[in-house]
Amino acid sequence: MQHVRATYIDGRWGEGSGPELEVGSAADGSVLARFRGAGADDVERACAAADAAWPAWAATSVADRVDLLRRTADLVAKRADELGSVAAQEVGTPVRLASTVHGHLVAATVRDVATTLEAYAFEERIGNSLILREPIGVAAAITAWNYPLYQLATKLVPALAAGCTVVLKPSEVAPLTTIAFFEVLAEAGLPAGVANLVVGTGAEAGEALVTDPRVGIVSFTGSTQTGARIAELAAPGITRVTLELGGKSASVVLDDADLAQAVPASLRGCLMNNGQTCAALTRLIVPRSRLTEVEQLLAEAVAQLVTGDPRDDATDVGPVASAVQRERVLGHVRGALAEGAVLIAGGPDPVAEAPAGGHYVRPTVLRVEPHLRIAREEVFGPVLCVIPVDSEEEAVAVANGTDYGLSGAVWSGDPDRALAVARRLRTGQVAVNGGPFNISAPFGGYQRSGYGREGGRFGLEEYFEIKAVQL
């Protein structure tokens, strides 16, 4: 079992003063770490440290901050395999993917923030006004358990780049890679107090952080329900909030699409990180005339997937992060079957061949009607809903028919037709015919998927106040 220190405050590691926490292995349920988490007192000290460090950090040159970020990115890249193997255990990400998404992608994102910062125009003229961008001050970052380091790279890193100091509270379910990232920041030479870590519960450490009067902005990733609570807590202090929340993203396959390309790619977009991806393509909207072909392709593709131990190189689909999450996912699947969903592949039975004690769910494909609960609510597990429709018009209406709006995809033999449909989707991102993820593009939600943007220039700009000086 790993010995973990729950706080890094003002450049020093320390034990927490809050409730005891346990980090479990998604793979086999064993205990990876047990420690006292950060309490409200620790959060208070962390905010004081960040507040004290802010004036000097805000006064550093862009060139110095760019250098520090590039050193950080190099150190993350060096530790990518180690970070991947820790994440395989605490998140459940198959190890073949883990060093990429929890290591190299994180390093690339940190590097991208450095490049964005280097080119950024902090000042501009509008008529007789000089427009200045100034760092907000202390930023609070609260992250979820599915991609802890990528979220850190899109919150803490741009905040530091902008000249803010930071207090970060990771999810208590999977904090171990975040702790390693703070070791990296210290090694890269980040001055004391500039980035502070409190590993604690949402109810104690999280609420203390959001309501601390020194915090100027809260950047949150997590569930829509918690996001609403955070916005409510932040309101009396007029504290800014950015919310990256849940999703129910649709992959819209038009009748002229190449199914051999669109169907497997949509399934991968759903099952990535075992379905624990906010932007997962969890609804596959297909022409009813091609439903049989689609379902056959899906059944064949699922039959080839290896579900099991995330530490094994052969694994395609690993466990979800916790027993609670596994029960939530299975509850959704059982509920859908009771409501009339048709099982195409997988199902709620246990994964007999996977290690005992792990939180495994079979990759599952269901045919559903759009009004079913599972077609509207986020599942956050390896479950794909196929929804047949009779026209392009209906496809767009169904795609737009949930409370969310985070991501999506459109497939057509005619790229112009696909783009026209992409324009009609009420969502923060859309991939046309498999257009790849772009770390520099703005990422964020419409509707109940949240507000604010992360990534590239848009992500950096969240951390600025804007001043107009009339000359």
Residue in 53, 114, 144, 270 binding ligand NAD, rule: CB under 6 A:
144
Q: Do the Cβ atoms of 425 and 396 come closer than 8 Å?
A: yes
Q: Which two tokens stand for residue 249?
A: 């993203």
278 binds ligand NAD (CB under 6 A): yes
403 binds ligand NAD (CB under 6 A): no
Q: Which residues pair with 198 in a beta bridge?
A: 7
| Contact characters 205-224, ligand NAD, x per CB under 6 A | -xx--x----------xxx-
Pairing label, strands 138-142, 165-169: parallel
175 binds ligand NAD (CB under 6 A): no
Residue in 35, 54, 360, 380 binding ligand NAD, rule: CB under 6 A:
380
Min separation Cβ 218 and ligand NAD, Å: 9
| DSSP-assigned letters across all residues of 281-312 | EEEEEEEGGGHHHHHHHHHHHHHT--BS-TTS
| Interface stretch with ligand NAD, choices 53-61, 225-233, 308-316, 419-427 (CB under 6 A) | 225-233
- Nearer Cβ to ligand NAD, position 249 or 412? 249
Q: Is 293 a catalytic residue?
A: no
Q: Between residue 442 and residue 471, which ones bind ligand NAD under the rule CB under 6 A?
A: 450
Q: Which residues pair with 139 in a beta bridge?
A: 166, 217
Question: Residue 146 to residues 112, 171, 233, 344: CA-CA distances in angstroms?
Answer: 21, 9, 24, 27
Q: Is 462 a catalytic residue?
A: no
| DSSP-assigned letters across all residues of 262-279 | HHHHHHHHHHGGGG--TT
Beta-carbon-side half-sphere exposure of residue 35 (alpha carbons within 13 Å): 24
95 binds ligand NAD (CB under 6 A): no
Q: Between residue 235 and residue 264, which ones bind ligand NAD under the rule CB under 6 A?
A: 244-247
Min separation Cβ 202 and ligand NAD, Å: 2
From first CA to last CA, the distance across the chain in angstroms is 62
| Interface stretch with ligand NAD, choices 31-39, 111-119, 169-177, 395-403 (CB under 6 A) | 169-177
172 binds ligand NAD (CB under 6 A): yes
C-alpha 25/C-alpha 91 separation (Å) is 8
| Secondary structure (3-state) at 204 | helix
Residue in 88, 215, 234, 406 binding ligand NAD, rule: CB under 6 A:
406
C-alpha 21/C-alpha 94 separation (Å) is 25
- Nearer Cβ to ligand NAD, position 20 or 313? 20
Sites of contact with ligand NAD (CB under 6 A):
142-146, 169, 171-172, 201-203, 206-207, 210, 221-223, 226, 229-230, 244-247, 278, 378, 380, 406, 450
Which residues are marked as active site?
Answer: 244, 278
